Structure 1
């Protein structure tokens, strides 16, 4: 088993433990001091991304699970609970358990091949600041997860949702465009030479840190020896190089192996830090660049009531309910209510600009069982959600 497979197994086991401890998508059970209602998470592996949109590490996910809610919870068998409001009683190992959750889901397969996913939210879901979650918060969250510039882990946009392709076409992030064009690009239709040069200089310095982060992980985990040439250490990760090779040389080898696809390289090879998190000015490259025509809204995202939303798929898709089991993030905290007008295709933020959402990455707020209090020195302090 190579190093990356070992790491994958390790992360999977950690995630399983995390889900058992926090309740994951399920019933949250966390031990706390009832006199203070305080819980403390401390972990050096935190990447400080506690947003329900952009969490990266397992420790980050624990914070998100503690402060936010997902559409549906899962039972002990791992299946989603479709009747979260009234509850479902399901047997597990000979014992009946009753499960409740934030919402109900009714799935309807139509004669024309389309499929309706009708979600109804509980009316008593309240964020830790006392503001209730409604259909508008779900609509807002869906549009963030499906924005053309979204670069988090969720993949709702990959589903055959009515109008999704038309909405996401005609716009890409500057990062994606620069990455695809390459460092020798001569077409400056959408940016100038100075921007391109600055981008690749930033990528190069981040690449050195990225390789070093992997090497440090290998040494700390006992898979390589401290003091070995970095080319030797990176051989454990699948990218061997000569003893005289530098971290920059190894990053070039990795870059070539992925045919210049920086996003996939980072997602696949990262140890504890993503490539973009090591860039000095990544946020400058996250804005959307219009490259063609696109729709103003997703036809398949339909608000059907104050607490209900329909998502329309153009065809049957087996994992759809799981992929759409997103966190419901409060519009009033992560977005801008003044920019939300459902009837006029305004969804709480400018399309192609997630900067206001990214700005709240280290200060989460939601309707989970706990309220974020503070963060310092790889330690997060939470208290019980009073609502």
Structure 2
């Protein structure tokens, strides 16, 4: 179906946050207010220095390449599954958040090489049945036939074989999960998260929505892959013909005149507006722009090359219309007019206008939906995904159309409270309503003021380029943390106390920092009487021995995802 542009498989999680809006993103006792008492640098307080600033405080859309984003999520959220616990051969997984069981799997034909196995060779089975080729049977009876005996799921390598057939996971949440505000999480919160990630307007980096969930295509697009493929081929033929053509000639054998007119006169126009809206939504969630333009349409026009800022500080668009930003701003119709003036029917130009969103996918979807609906191939009754089933207050089943040993990795995402990020009044599982308007997650995207979750730490404030996290008193997981307060110093123009992480760790400003290859001072970091250095691939984790007991420092750091677990358990002096 829709191609996800430049999506990178996410192995660790991101960050959770919230903005005050009419529906969702509002709670009593919201954090972020000035703290009256001075910051106590006691034995349970740790100061971490970072070389960057966060991009957003919304975990659905956080930047996985930004350490601050990932750290805040890991510290304030609970995850359905921890990536460090991934094992290809597992049929059951349990942590302090949930238990996930692989209930039903297709047969895996061990006599056929993984790369040549075909769907026809698989059959549906359930654990406990007498079948020779099920993972359940082979795990205990035939080690050479287990998924572990097949090629590993190495990043950058070809993904392991998928085996067609019904696959069922049963997920049971623990009954003692509470947010930092004391609100209990249940299976409705998990289902809300799943539907957000499956929504057609979701463009974050969690890939749960790319699983082959039963009924996913019918829900998201209103039709299945076969129908989409049929009409996408019609679109491929239509776009080869000049839109101004009056006589289709030989092309009449490939598509009808009605389809030709519908595409250029209706679907193309709708696609342009949808494209604009998605660009604006995406840009509004991006905090990296350094211009003085307001967010929304003016900034979107600037980013797309449809307008530029003059020396006088006004905005000039490609239609030569000038806007005094203090008096007048361009609107939707101005954006559309400039887009048409700049590109007309140049589909390649429109596709490249904003690389993060595919215009080709949008106009293909618009055409396919309209044609399929006109021909009675789809209806508007697909309000839910048949493969997501609620069984009880804390239990659900997820049904897939096929199986792969790496499917477990798609369960690595935080469970964010619907009370805050969604709208509980819009949630009714039986009626096909899941806490937001289908196809529109704009309100969820705006929840980026502060993170709220059920993790071990609670967000308190961002001030002077520093984030303060404190112990979440409602957290019921591992409470062995020695560190009760974390101060995160960010690389920000607002911070008067910020210093380079390497310099800060040497002069005692920071207790911990991460130093990356190429960073100023990186090569000079060695074991000294005052520093404890732990090396991992691409970075070094550096501790101040003046503040942290050497015997509590981690010995081995296998990857980035584990370091936070180590530092929260170190002992402070």
Give TM-score scaled by structure 1 length: 0.59
1:72 corresponding residue in structure 2:
81
Q: Are the aligned partners of 2:81 and 2:411 in contact in 1 as well (CA < 8 Å)?
A: no
State the Cα deviation string for residues 194-240 of structure 1 (Å, max 9, x = none). 9989979754511469xxxxxxxxxxxxxxxxxxxxxxxxxxxxxxx
Matched, 1:366 2:453: yes
Choose 190-199 or 146-155, whichever is displaced more: 190-199
Matched, 1:132 2:223: no
Distance 2:388 2:276 in 1: 40
Q: Are the aligned partners of 2:213 and 2:387 in contact in 1 as well (CA < 8 Å)?
A: yes
Larger Rg: 2
- Give 1:1-387 correspondences, 5 Å limit: 42-47=50-55, 49-56=56-63, 57-58=65-66, 59-75=68-84, 85=94, 100-107=95-102, 108-110=104-106, 111-112=123-124, 113-170=165-222, 187=265, 191=270, 203-207=300-304, 260-261=351-352, 265-266=355-356, 293-294=379-380, 295-376=382-463, 378-387=465-474
The number of residue pairs the alignment matches comes to 276
Distance 2:87 2:465 in 1: 31
State the Cα deviation string for residues 25-50 of structure 1 (Å, max 9, x = none). xxxxxxx9666767667553421x22
Point out where structure 1 has 5 or more consecutive residues left out of the alignment.
1-7, 20-31, 86-99, 172-181, 210-251, 268-284
RMSD of aligned Cα (Å): 4.4
State the Cα deviation string for residues 334-372 of structure 1 (Å, max 9, x = none). 111111111111111111121221121232111111111
SS of aligned partner of 1:149? coil
Q: Are the aligned partners of 1:46 and 1:378 in contact in 2 as well (CA < 8 Å)?
A: no
Deviation at 1:331, TM superposition (A): 0.8
2:110 corresponding residue in structure 1:
none
SS of aligned partner of 1:310? strand
Choose 319-328 or 195-204, whichever is displaced more: 195-204
Deviation at 1:71, TM superposition (A): 0.5
Distance 1:316 1:131 in 2: 35
Distance 1:135 1:109 in 2: 23
SS of aligned partner of 1:53? helix
State the Cα deviation string for residues 146-195 of structure 1 (Å, max 9, x = none). 01110101122222110000011059xxxxxxxxxx9x996355659899
2:556 corresponding residue in structure 1:
none
Distance 2:464 2:188 in 1: 35
Q: Are the aligned partners of 1:300 and 1:313 in contact in 2 as well (CA < 8 Å)?
A: yes
State the Cα deviation string for residues 270-320 of structure 1 (Å, max 9, x = none). xxxxxxxxxxxxxxx9xx988554510000011112111211001112322
Q: Are the aligned partners of 2:83 and 2:409 in contact in 1 as well (CA < 8 Å)?
A: no
Indicate how the Cα distance of structure 1 residues 84 and 375 shifts in structure 2: closer, same or farther if over 3 A, else same: farther
1:223 corresponding residue in structure 2:
none
Q: Are the aligned partners of 1:52 and 1:68 in contact in 2 as well (CA < 8 Å)?
A: no
Distance 2:347 2:275 in 1: 19
Distance 1:140 1:197 in 2: 27
SS of aligned partner of 1:145? helix
State the Cα deviation string for residues 68-112 of structure 1 (Å, max 9, x = none). 111012447877987665xxxxxxxxxxxxxx4311111121553
SS of aligned partner of 2:182? coil
Distance 1:321 1:195 in 2: 34
Indicate how the Cα distance of structure 1 residues 343 and 80 shifts in structure 2: closer, same or farther if over 3 A, else same: farther
SS of aligned partner of 1:143? helix
Distance 1:368 1:84 in 2: 19
Point out where structure 2 has 5 or more consecutive residues left out of the alignment.
1-5, 14-39, 107-122, 125-164, 224-238, 244-262, 280-296, 307-342, 374-378, 475-573
Q: Are the aligned partners of 1:41 and 1:379 in contact in 2 as well (CA < 8 Å)?
A: no
Distance 2:441 2:418 in 1: 13
